[in-house]
Structure 1
């Protein structure tokens, strides 16, 4: 099954329901629809159409990871940042990390591969997923994220993104 909005009704929380919740909380965003984006390279091919002159925009790559104690992590980084899982595990103080399976991704974040996003923490907080984000997000005006599906992107102001985390009671760990 794919990660596009065509299949959103098979998710624990649909993309439409997430967007309605963002609206209900008074959080603002710009919604973009596009072909399904599965990789950073796919995203780089369309991201120029989302950019607004004068805005500092952060485009992301997201990693769903597990440690040897079977704890789950969502790590969100600036898309061009190189990542060394061994060094990341040491920085987080959790030892070695590996990628979580598609089944665990669905179980813990309620999404499918290709749609991994900080917005999935709306499901992840209930499943004790720990969230870490690139400190570069603290400087960006706008952050681009998938709203649980990979054929949509929301461009959300940093303040609204942080208000989202407050609403869902998600603690953000910052990576430098």
Structure 2
């Protein structure tokens, strides 16, 4: 588990693990649509994140390509759960310490192991450059999918890499 949480902990862990990354500062963005201009300027895969809760009450953080229209009806079979719905913002803040608009797999630095299952799209997991938020929506951090998985493991999370069904 990370000793220091939040963005300071994230920076420290990136340095300690020697993970190559680039941080790009920008205006706040809350939706995939709002980030179109930023995406055009940054190479690599861009993401969107869904904070979900399944029928048994378990929480899931799904990271997929920004343009992917996720099929929420088919998703449970692909990731091994029952029906999913969107999680509430207060659960998001309590479990991963961030608010809607800043969701990122890197927020798992703030989460207790096994409190949330992180699912990374198989294409993103293999990508050389994946762009995600560094715990805030006023910046984008670019790193490889393999290094996202490495960070998650470093924080005690076992991510699921899956082919995410789309509509």
* Range into which the TM-score falls when normalised by the shorter chain: 0.7 to 0.9
> Structure 1 residue 46 and structure 2 residue 38: aligned?
yes
Q: Of residues 50, 58, 79 in structure 2, which corresponds to 1:92?
A: 79
CA contact (8 A) 2:56 2:82 kept: no
Aligned twin of 1:37 = 29
Stretches of structure 1 that go unaligned for 5 or more consecutive residues are 1-11, 52-56
- Name the SS for the 1:26 alignment partner: coil
Residue 91 (structure 2) aligns with: 104
What is the TM-score when the length of structure 1 is the normalising length? 0.83
In structure 2, the residue matched to 1:4 is: none
- Give the paired residue count: 160
Structure 1 residues 131-140 or 106-115, which shifts more? 131-140
Match of 1:160 in 2: 147
RMSD between aligned residues: 1.7
Superposition pairs of residues 122-133 of structure 1, within 5 angstroms: 122-126=109-113, 128-133=115-120
Q: Where does residue 160 of structure 2 map in the other structure?
A: 173
Whether the 8 Å contact between 2:6 and 2:110 is mirrored in structure 1 is: no
Structure in which a larger fraction of residues adopt helix: 1
Q: Secondary structure at the match of 1:138?
A: helix
- Shift in Å at residue 85 of structure 1? 1.3
TM-score, normalised to structure 2, is 0.88
4+ runs deviating over 4 angstroms: none
- Residue segments in structure 2 that go unaligned for 5+ positions in a row: none
Alignment partner for residue 134 of structure 2, among 139, 142, 147? 147
